[in-house]
Amino acid sequence: MLISANALSRWRTDIIGLRQWTGFENRWLHLVRQHPVALDSAGFVAASRYNGFPWDVDDYLDLAASAPWL
């Protein structure tokens, strides 16, 4: 299975209605230990939807280190 990093994104809507990225959701990452799962960088989605990544490199590296991805 391939999971996009963007699928794990958490968002909130600010006071004027704009979506703000708040981090990666990690409550289900324990399932990665039970199934073969690869992590995708979400590069296409980030480029086409957000004009760049809403997270920084350290956020992505923390996500990559948080589970035993393929």
pLDDT attached to residue 52:
85
pLDDT attached to residue 14:
93
Place of tokens 């590069």: 43
Nearest alpha-carbon partner for 64 in 37, 35, 34: 37
With beta carbons less than 8 A apart as the criterion, state whether 24 and 63 touch: yes
> What is the SS3 assignment for 9?
strand
Average pLDDT over the chain, rounded to whole? 91
pLDDT attached to residue 46:
81
Point out the residues of the chain with pLDDT beneath 70.
none
For 1-70, strand residue ranges (E) read 2-4, 9-13, 19-24, 38-40
